[in-house]
Amino acid sequence: MNGRGLITATMRELERVKIIEAVIEGRLRCFQAAERLDLCERQISRLCRRYEADGPAGLVSGKRGKPSNRELPIDLRARAMALVRERYADFGPTLAC
């Protein structure tokens, strides 16, 4: 969510919101939603609880905007790139890896 209260969502997440809303409103059963979203019924009920608690923002990925757990520290990455450029200038990205 950004400062103005807007939510950035992918088309897949928007489809998920529509289906979860239908389950909560009773227009769709849990097992039908599970088939459409290719999830298990337990996951659908968990998503319904998150939707009821947080609204559509609860169904958007929590990883968005955060750095990867596997990301190297910036100084280490810069040092490695400098070594590759200095000693192995003719290496491509695959060989340098």
Report pLDDT digits (tens) over 9-22.
778 888 999 999 99
The answer to whether residues 46 and 81 belong to one domain is: no
Model confidence pLDDT, tens digit, residues 19-36: 999 999 999 999 999 999
**From CA 55, how far away is CA 20, in angstroms rounded?**
10
Per residue, the 3-state secondary structure of the chain, as one string, reads CCCCCCCCCCHHHHHHHHHHHHHHHCCCCHHHHHHHHCCCHHHHHHHHHHHHHHHHHHHCCCCCCCCCCCCCCHHHHHHHHHHHHHHCCCCCHHHHC
Most confident of 48-52, 56-60, 69-73, 76-80: 48-52
The confidence score (pLDDT) of residue 1 equals: 47
User: What pLDDT is attached to residue 57?
Assistant: 86
Cα→Cα distances 88→36, 73, 81, 84, 93, Å:
50, 22, 10, 5, 11
**Are 89 and 54 in a shared domain?**
no
pTM over 0.85: no
> How many domains in the chain?
2
| Co-location of 28 and 61 in the same domain | yes
